[in-house]
Chains A and B, each alone.
Chain A
Amino acid sequence: MLARRLAAASAALAVLVTACGDGEAPTGESSPSPSATVTPAGPTAPGTTASPSPSDTQRDVTASIVVSGGQVQGGVPKIEVAAGDEVRLEITSDKADEIHVHGYDVFADVGAGETVTVEFTADITGQFEIEFEGSHRKLADLVVGG
């Protein structure tokens, strides 16, 4: 039957396509993509360290971001946390600007050569930008998992 052959052919194809798709699109959980690294190579940026708190469900996540010459040292990081995590951002800048965590609308001023710490609970899922309001410089992508 032609219909049956057609069905078989498309099944084979679909499996093939699914397989390709899986290979090309890594999930956040199993294999982090190159751009998703939160641990930059530079000595000035210690990156994100997650230290498990007594409770298993809620963690404290600290990310350090250093901006100098208008550039985020080690590239713009992707900070991946789970919903409910306590996020602590340590941001150092060589120029004065205002930090804005989009979605959460957390704002903080940083002076030239200062380090500022911003803390909030990541209770809104989704992907958000953290940026300098004044210079529109993107500091990080915050990814809060469901």
Chain B
Amino acid sequence: MLLAHGVGVRGDLPLPLWIVSYGAAAVLVITFVGLVRGWKEPRLEDGGVGRPLPGWVQGAATPVEWLLRIVGVAALAVVVVAGLTGPETGGSNFAPFMLYVIVWAGGMFVSGFVGNVWSALDPVETVRKGLPVDEDAPDVRARLGLWPAAVLLLLFTWLELAYFEPADPFAVTLMVVVLIAAPVLGGLWSSSWWLRGANAFGALFRLLATMAPFHRDDEGVLRVRAPLSGLPRLNPIPGTVALILVALGSTTFDGFTRTTIWESVAAGKTGWTGTAIATLGLLVITGIVAAMYLGAMADAAKGTEHSTGDLARAFAHTLIPIALGYAVAHYFSLLVFEGQQAIKLASDPFDLGWDLFGTADWTRSFSAVSAATIAWVQAGAIVLGHVAAVVLAHDRAIALFPQRKATESQIALMIVMVVYTMGGLGLLLGA
């Protein structure tokens, strides 16, 4: 993950072969144990409710939420002004660091590992709070689903991974405006569902937060549950699967651009030529990742009353830990190293010599985390994401199908998941 001439000065080293070998062995052993040993009854389907948090936490949540809403709107204003008036090189402008490091990478991590904190910070959700919500307009919700969010997320990943100046402050500001304007304008002119269905980050982070320990139940009570246990409660709508596959496909493409195969394709291609090739690569790789998942679902659907689409939605939750695992593998070092730069720039976002938080003189320490630690985190994230997915898929399969069909249905999915994992590790190995 290296955004040329801007955010992301330090690129990760390729994973050492032996870490990958251990990782691959761990996948196989744990997968076999999970599948072959006695797990004959669905155990996870009713999970994910957890215990309510103490009363004082519930009481504090509302003022904290409104504080975060103010912070979110203020931060958006700062990003737009910094993007338009700040330094023109991405590496010293606050806007690209805020978009890529804090909101995108940080947002995925916090959503998956803590809870949907973003829904309080998100200016789009704040607008939604201020508008009359027409019961989320069931007909619009059923028609659009999360498809607009999936398309906008693909546009964002295009800027990040295909456009030749991803950290260009003006391009970043334009992207931020599009990501905010699409759901807000849709919400004002059409139906309030747009504020959810076209909110690219909001929708993805909400999905990732289904695996997080902290959540609000339907009555709005804050609860804590076992990590991952909330996933089987995911209720996919049209576009949910597409949104996850875009997230998964784009991080896969990010890994692919580090391989020698890609280097030989893209070598020396700069500017719009390079962008055109990368755009094609992004679409093809995302397409392959999607086709593998849907192919496995088509295979599992054979001889059952379920359609491929039904199964793709029924197993969608199993992709969420993989998507988070990939995100950790690709963005962990960016968050650790460039997060420092983001905190530094936050003290003087408009380059006026301010020192709001006393961090303006910080210099990034690239020794904060060792290369070995990064390698272990990367391999571990991909392996654990995969193992969680296999266990969840096994549980869903025995809940959906009779015993024999349940095992059969998993052959294709198992193959896909093992290929995803090996591919994920292999792409991080690629030098």
Contact = CB atoms under 8 A, between A and B. Distances in A.
A13 B260 contact: no
B407 A2 contact: yes
B140 to A, nearest CB: 42
B36 interface: yes
A17 B13 contact: no
A33 B426 contact: no
B407 A3 contact: yes
B31 A125 contact: no
Interface in A95-137: 102-103, 123-129, 131, 136
Contacts of B407: 2-3, 6
Interface in B352-379: 366-367, 370-372, 375
Contact of A27 (B4, B35, B429): B429
Main secondary structure of the interface of B (DSSP, over half): helix
B9 A17 contact: no
B12 A35 contact: no
A25 B148 CA distance: 36
A7 B411 CA distance: 9
A34 B267 CA distance: 11
A126 B24 contact: no
A103 B407 CA distance: 51
B291 to A, nearest CB: 17
Given A6-B35, A27-B14, A127-B2, A17 B411 contact: no
**Most B CB atoms within 10 A — which of A9, A14, A28?**
A14
Given A2-B404, A10-B418, A26-B260, A143 B13 contact: yes
A35 B404 contact: no
A103 B35 contact: no
A34 to B, nearest CB: 7
A131 to B, nearest CB: 8
Interface string A18-37: 10011011111000011110
Nearest to A8: B32
A82 B360 CA distance: 32
Interface string B405-431: 001101100110011001101110111
12 contacts: A3-B35, A6-B410, A6-B411, A10-B418, A11-B32, A14-B28, A21-B20, A26-B260, A33-B260, A124-B366, A136-B5, A144-B13
Interface of A: 2-4, 6-7, 9-11, 13-14, 17-18, 21-22, 24-28, 33-36, 75, 102-103, 123-129, 131, 136, 143-146
